[in-house]
Structure 1
Amino acid sequence: MNNKSNKFIRRKKRNKIIKRLILGLFVIIVGIIIFIYKSPIFNLKKIDITGLVTLSNESLQENLKYYIGQNIFTIDYNEIEKELKENPYIKEIKVNKKGINSLNINIKENKIAYYFESDGKIKAINNEGVIVEELDKMNDRNLIKLTGIDLSGKTVGDKISDNINILDTLEKFYNIIEVMPQEYIFSQIEIENLNNIVCYIGNIEIMIGDSSDLTDKMNLALNAIEQGVISKGYIDMSFNGPAVIKQIN
């Protein structure tokens, strides 16, 4: 009888201990959750945006400034994606937490890199030579000016040309633009004569000739610029043989 009583008492004590442990664990979990959601150390302080080609980081940061100071665990990432995707230049977005108070937003742009000025409008062009937008002002768009084609009468959705060589040239340039340092980006590309393409980086005129070996030609030009061989003048690669580099003071 005493053994049964002792077992009952021990069981009861054990159950009380388990209940207390469960209650204590519950209190700890609730405390952690409250701490995470209320502590200012988890408030968003910084947003890093990667993957930009033509869009302005400053402009996108301005659009997202409302989220700074909000708790990183309560921010609705879907709302961020929805807000950013209102921009026609953005194709895909991935939002990830970075540490306890910062976010990383990786953006994959629609391949829009160029513009023509025609009919009093700025016509944004993608890598396939299609007009995707008409603008009155450039605003924050970092697009590269194209010259050498008449776009009179062309509107959104039209290709700038049926010439496959022109479209192929735009694609080749876009592949280079994607990886170029922003400080050396093209300001203008002339495609009136595809055998004598000319582009500009700052005060430097680059005579490319045709678009064959375009990546190699641009690597040569960028190396000359980065190494300080030329800061103003021209680089002529429009003929067979070594490039001619002329510095103008």
Structure 2
Amino acid sequence: MLDVAREAQLPVVGMLLIVAGAAKLVSRRPGGLALLLAPGGGRLVNGGVGAAELVVGALLLFASGVPGLAGRWLAVLMFVTAFVGLRELRRQRPEADCGCFGELSAAPVSSRTLARAAVCAGASLATIGVSATGWQVLTRPAPVHIAGALTTAAVVALLSPEWRETAARLRRGVPCERREVPVARTLAALRSSAAWRAHARHLTGHEPLDVWREGCWQLVAYPATVDGGAATVVFAVPTGRLRRRPVRAAVVPGDGPEGVRPPDG
């Protein structure tokens, strides 16, 4: 019975990796480990991680023998690396999201996120040594398979903050002017943008002076020194229907963002 319960982890972990990998590949905003490995952007790294997750997930579902065993060990390695990397990301950039499921992962890394990575690492480790494939479990499930898979899936779901973002996306009828946007998500998008890279060298503080909303734009002001004088760099981060537009920036002489308006267009 224990072996059957271990087999039940194969489809859960395999499908989880495939969903996570696909979400990273379609994401326009890198997060998680990509922010650590490539602080200036990381879309290529993000895509590489997503592709690797798709491959390993497919191995868990369909491969047996040596390829199947390799896929299971790779899954363990991926989740252990994710746990260590996310813990470091939480320490270095507490405002950044984990990027685990692409743009659905809008919340900052938390103890729940770390616990989920640990649970997935344990579930992956449990699959080492079982003979079935994930697809065989899915197509010929025993009652213990169903109970084991549902238990693991329920634990992962309870530890996942992505449900809130999923629910928000289902409410797309809400105008972007009225849609709630977490500040942590705005800062994460800002710090992976070209505008941030262009102006970061001028900034004199790590924390924003102010964050406020103007229609479908989230504005973030930072203290700066430009040409030897005090200034304020104001970034405009698009939200809602404008989210595909680039982040914009304006340099305002002086030490306050008063009078700044969102960019045209």
TM-score after normalising by structure 1: 0.31
Instruction: Give the alignment's TM-score, normalised by structure 2.
Output: 0.29
Larger radius of gyration: 1
Q: Which has the higher contact order (CA 8 A, sep 6+)?
A: 2
Looking at secondary structure, tell me which structure has more strand per residue.
1
